[in-house]
Amino acid sequence: CLRYGLADLANPWMDSCRAARRTWPDLKRHDLKSLCAHVGHQLDNHHCAQTDAIAAGRILLACCRESGNSLFELALSLPTRLQ
């Protein structure tokens, strides 16, 4: 939001792309489609809000499995808004 001069989001959020970059820094690409392929999630109907949100959640869970951290621990290590 800051980049575009918009007000900060009041709703909870967590950046799955940052989590993936931290978990798999050696991947060539960290876009949603590439990350889904990496974690074994079939991405159907890309750019549909619900489908993309489910995919981002699967990526976060895969980050947790790979790192051995809980979702809470992962959230503490990233810029988030979970309150």
Question: Tell me, what amino acid is at 2?
Answer: L
Q: How confident is the model at residue 75 (pLDDT cuts 50, 70, 90)?
A: confident
Radius of gyration, alpha carbons of the chain: 13
Other Cβ atoms less than 10 A from the Cβ of 62: the count is: 21
The reply to whether the predicted model has a pTM over 0.75 is: yes
Structure tokens at 30: 């960290």
pLDDT tens figures, 12-56: 778 899 999 999 999 999 999 999 999 999 999 999 999 999 999
Of 37, 74, 32, 72, nearest in space to 49 by CA? 32
Structure tokens at 35: 């990350």
Question: Tell me, what amino acid is at 57?
Answer: G
